């Protein structure tokens, strides 16, 4: 993939995982993404630590957008912890989204800005009630995305399940994760994890303010999909974040490992060389316009860095610096600091079909079994034949494209999720629950007759309960999840499981079987669909094979 195509791909990928693009090929329109969809009934004011703010009450939900949760991160605060947030007088409007982090412009959002530390809150009422708080880390890898994406609009979760939803923006890319600790001095300690420390500042804001929004500061769930799952993995291991959340969910983004200092330092050196800056003159980085830094960043991989021992890529993401992030999130063990915090983790059954769509990959869906082996050999060598044999035995009716999708999906997101669940179980602390999302979209991958199934990112609108029947007088809208009405039931199941977990630490939903905690004997997995089921030892032969060749 050439550089231009890579940039285009990851931009589209990140926007989609953040839930903000209109999936025009499928006629998808994100719920709540258009201003004329909001019917304002009245304004509502509340007072928080730094002053009064004004939000809106619409259709039974109080919505506050663009609330600043920390101060300036531009100028002399670039690559450092935020400046203190200045209080304001009067009443500050919280009616529009705040600026997202530096990236390409985003649909229906303000222009990106270095000063991006804003968050959004959806609550049934500012009434002093102690509701569970669901704090969402947006997708988009570590380079794009925002807390204002339409597909993850929090109104339906708040309205239908009596929870408070919070979604922050934070620094991304090299502005959030450039490792300067070895060259820049004590003021820049933790520079490789500023994006995570921003999120932590958002969690502290929740602790200090969420009671004013009818939320319980002592019952906070962090969760996130794709890059947001990897961020959640890191927060689960982050000492500074530990006091501010009680449970977590890592969705299609298992962050088992992050970048080590050696790789992060090499990446910094390469950036300085790209910008023609001598190491001793690193402070010139403070003077370069953000747009020029973004252009330099585009020359590095957009893939989340160092997610396993064999993938030592050089991009911008969290750094295991021994201080802010003391160790890899789930390697070699689950983090001791979160031993007593319940965890959800899992993935979508057909993750790869999303990437096929984005990469315009139609050839994978023309494969025969000889072609499948040829396609797998560059990555798996002599094990390619064994892998195919195991999958053909476990899935006797599967076509070669079916098997390619299954292999690609589990290696992208599944094996890491299983690894996290196993290591959490071995900790003998709070329970962990493993899931697969399996509702099937009938939409076809463009240029093929192959259905999308359950692609990466499709879970976003489902778990936010944004797959709902049209209101009276509304035209039915076709979704990324297809057009079958069963999707409404699947979305309700998903959302109820997550909100009950946020409330109690144990996922449950009406009409859904009891979900046992994961263990190393039965290995129960909840398959989430319009009809949910618990499956023990799911994919056993396949997982055993991956373990035997050192991939798990």
Distance, in Å, from the CA atom of 38 to the CA atom of 32, rounded to the nearest integer, reads: 7
- The separation between the first and the last C-alpha atoms of the chain, rounded to the nearest angstrom, is 28
What pLDDT is recorded for position 22?
Answer: 32
CATH number at residue 9: 3.40.50.1820
Domain extent, residue 516, equals 353-548
Is 307 contained in some domain? no
CA-CA-CA-CA torsion sign (544, 547, 549, 552): positive
Q: Where are the beta strands (DSSP E) in 286-431?
A: 319-320, 343-348
Distance, in Å, from the CA atom of 43 to the CA atom of 45, rounded to the nearest integer, reads: 7
Structure tokens at 46: 């509340």
For residues 166 and 104, membership in a common domain is answered with: yes
Choose one of 345, 364, 399: the last residue of a domain. 345
For residues 255 and 106, membership in a common domain is answered with: yes
**Radius of gyration (Cα) for the chain, nearest Å?**
22
For residues 333 and 381, membership in a common domain is answered with: no
Count how many domains the chain has.
Answer: 2
For residues 383 and 341, membership in a common domain is answered with: no
| Burial (Cβ within 10 Å: 0-12, 13-18, ≥19) of residue 351 | buried
For residues 327 and 378, membership in a common domain is answered with: no
For residues 366 and 326, membership in a common domain is answered with: no
SS3 440: coil
Distance, in Å, from the CA atom of 279 to the CA atom of 297, rounded to the nearest integer, reads: 18
Q: Tens-of-pLDDT digits for all 552 residues of the chain?
A: 333 233 333 333 343 333 333 333 443 333 333 333 445 569 999 999 999 999 999 999 999 999 999 999 999 999 999 999 999 999 999 999 999 999 999 999 999 999 999 999 999 999 999 999 999 999 999 999 999 998 999 999 999 999 999 999 999 999 999 999 999 999 999 999 999 999 999 999 999 999 999 999 999 999 999 999 999 999 999 999 999 999 999 999 999 999 999 999 999 999 999 999 999 999 999 999 999 999 999 998 876 544 444 555 578 999 999 999 999 999 999 999 999 999 999 999 999 999 999 999 999 999 999 999 999 999 999 999 999 999 999 999 999 999 999 999 999 999 999 999 999 999 999 999 999 999 999 999 999 999 999 999 999 999 999 999 988 888 777 788 999 999 999 999 999 999 999 999 999 999 999 999 999 999 999 999 999 999 999 999 999 999 999 999
Is 277 contained in some domain? no
Are 350 and 438 within 8 A, CB to CB?
A: no
Residue count (the chain) = 552
Are 297 and 317 within 8 A, CB to CB?
A: no
Distance, in Å, from the CA atom of 431 to the CA atom of 341, rounded to the nearest integer, reads: 8
Is 282 contained in some domain? no
Backbone angles phi, psi at 237, to 5 degrees: -110, 10
Q: Which residues pair with 231 in a beta bridge?
A: none
Distance, in Å, from the CA atom of 334 to the CA atom of 426, rounded to the nearest integer, reads: 8
Q: What are the angstrom distances between the C-alpha of 477 and each of 61, 272, 316, 353, 469?
A: 22, 48, 37, 22, 9
Is 281 contained in some domain? no
Distance, in Å, from the CA atom of 193 to the CA atom of 325, rounded to the nearest integer, reads: 8
Q: What are the angstrom distances between the C-alpha of 514 and each of 503, 508, 534?
A: 16, 7, 8
For residues 158 and 195, membership in a common domain is answered with: yes
Is 495 contained in some domain? yes
Residue 509's nearest CA partner among 522, 500, 520 is: 500
What pLDDT is recorded for position 476?
Answer: 73
For residues 233 and 357, membership in a common domain is answered with: no
Choose one of 294, 323, 345: the last residue of a domain. 345
Report the catalytic residues: 226
Pairing mode of beta strands 42-48, 51-58:
antiparallel
Choose one of 324, 345, 366: the last residue of a domain. 345
For residues 393 and 246, membership in a common domain is answered with: no
Residue 462's nearest CA partner among 430, 446, 445, 484 is: 484
For residues 505 and 484, membership in a common domain is answered with: yes
Is 93 contained in some domain? yes
Distance, in Å, from the CA atom of 172 to the CA atom of 114, rounded to the nearest integer, reads: 9
What pLDDT is recorded for position 301?
Answer: 83
Angle (deg, nearest 10), helices 351-358 and 400-409 = 100
Q: Give me the residue label for tokens 């977990």.
A: 501
Is 294 contained in some domain? no
Structure tokens at 248: 């977590």
Is 486 contained in some domain? yes
Distance, in Å, from the CA atom of 140 to the CA atom of 136, rounded to the nearest integer, reads: 13
Residue 112's nearest CA partner among 122, 124, 97, 127 is: 97
For residues 239 and 375, membership in a common domain is answered with: no
Q: Which residues contact 507 (CB under 8 A, 6 or more apart)?
A: 344, 433, 497, 498, 500, 501, 515, 526
For residues 217 and 366, membership in a common domain is answered with: no
Q: Residues 487-491: contacts with CB within 8 Å, 24+ apart?
A: 487/439, 487/441, 487/462, 487/530, 489/530, 490/439, 490/462, 490/528, 490/529, 490/530, 491/461, 491/462, 491/463, 491/465, 491/466, 491/467
Cα 259 to chain centroid, rounded: 18
């Amino acid at each position: 993939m050439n550089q231009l195509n890579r940039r285009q791909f990851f931009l589209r990928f990140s926007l989609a995982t953040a839930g903000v693009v209109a999936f025009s090929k499928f006629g998808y329109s994100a719920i709540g993404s258009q201003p004329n969809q909001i019917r304002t009934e009245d304004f509502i004011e509340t007072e928080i630590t730094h002053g009064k703010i004004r939000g809106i009450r619409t259709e039974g939900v109080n919505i506050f957008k663009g609330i600043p949760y920390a101060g300036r991160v531009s100028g002399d605060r670039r690559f450092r912890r935020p400046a203190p947030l200045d209080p304001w007088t009067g009443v500050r409007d919280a009616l529009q989204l705040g600026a997202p982090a530096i990236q390409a412009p985003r649909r229906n959002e303000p222009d990106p800005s270095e000063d991006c530390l804003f968050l959004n809150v959806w609550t049934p009422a500012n009434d002093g009630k102690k509701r569970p708080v669901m704090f969402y880390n947006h997708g988009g890898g570590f380079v794009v995305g925002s807390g204002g994406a339409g597909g993850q609009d929090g109104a339906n979760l708040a309205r239908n399940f009596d929870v408070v939803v919070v979604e922050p923006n934070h620094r991304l890319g090299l502005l959030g994760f450039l490792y300067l600790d070895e060259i820049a001095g004590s003021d820049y300690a933790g520079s490789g994890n500023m994006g995570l420390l921003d999120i932590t500042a958002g969690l502290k804001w929740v602790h200090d303010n969420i009671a004013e929004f009818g939320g319980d500061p002592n019952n906070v769930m962090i969760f996130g999909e794709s890059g947001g799952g990897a961020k959640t993995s890191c927060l689960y291991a982050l000492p500074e974040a530990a006091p501010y959340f009680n449970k977590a969910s890592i969705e299609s983004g298992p962050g088992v490992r992050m970048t080590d200092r050696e790789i992060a330092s090499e990446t910094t050196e390469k950036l300085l060389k790209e910008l023609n800056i001598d190491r001793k003159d690193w402070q010139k980085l403070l003077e370069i316009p953000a747009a020029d830094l973004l252009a330099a960043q585009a020359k590095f991989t957009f893939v989340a860095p160092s997610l396993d021992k064999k993938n030592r890529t050089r991009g911008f993401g969290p750094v295991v610096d021994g201080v802010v992030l003391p160790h890899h999130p789930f390697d070699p063990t689950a983090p001791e600091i979160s031993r007593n915090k319940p965890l959800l983790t899992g993935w979508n059954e057909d993750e790869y079909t999303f990437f096929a769509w984005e990469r315009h990959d139609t050839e994978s869906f023309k494969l025969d079994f000889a072609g499948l082996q040829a396609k797998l050999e560059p990555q798996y060598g002599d094990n390619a034949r064994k892998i195919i044999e195991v999958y053909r035995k476990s899935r006797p009716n599967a076509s070669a494209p079916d098997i390619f999708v299954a292999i690609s999906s589990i290696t992208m997101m599944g094996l890491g999720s299983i690894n996290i669940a196993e290591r959490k179980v071995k900790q003998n602390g709070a329970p962990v629950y493993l899931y697969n999302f399996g509702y099937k979209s009938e939409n076809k991958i463009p240029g093929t007759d192959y259905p999308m199934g359950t692609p990466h990112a499709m879970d976003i609108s489902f778990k936010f309960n944004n797959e709902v029947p049209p209101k009276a007088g509304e035209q039915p809208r076709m979704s990324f999840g297809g057009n079958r009405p069963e999707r409404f039931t699947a979305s309700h199941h998903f959302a109820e499981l997550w909100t009950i977990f946020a409330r109690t630490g144990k996922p449950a939903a009406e009409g859904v079987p009891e979900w046992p905690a994961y263990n190393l004997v039965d290995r129960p997995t909840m398959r989430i669909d319009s009809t949910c089921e618990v499956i023990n030892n799911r994919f056993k032969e396949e997982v055993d094979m991956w373990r035997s060749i050192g991939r798990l």
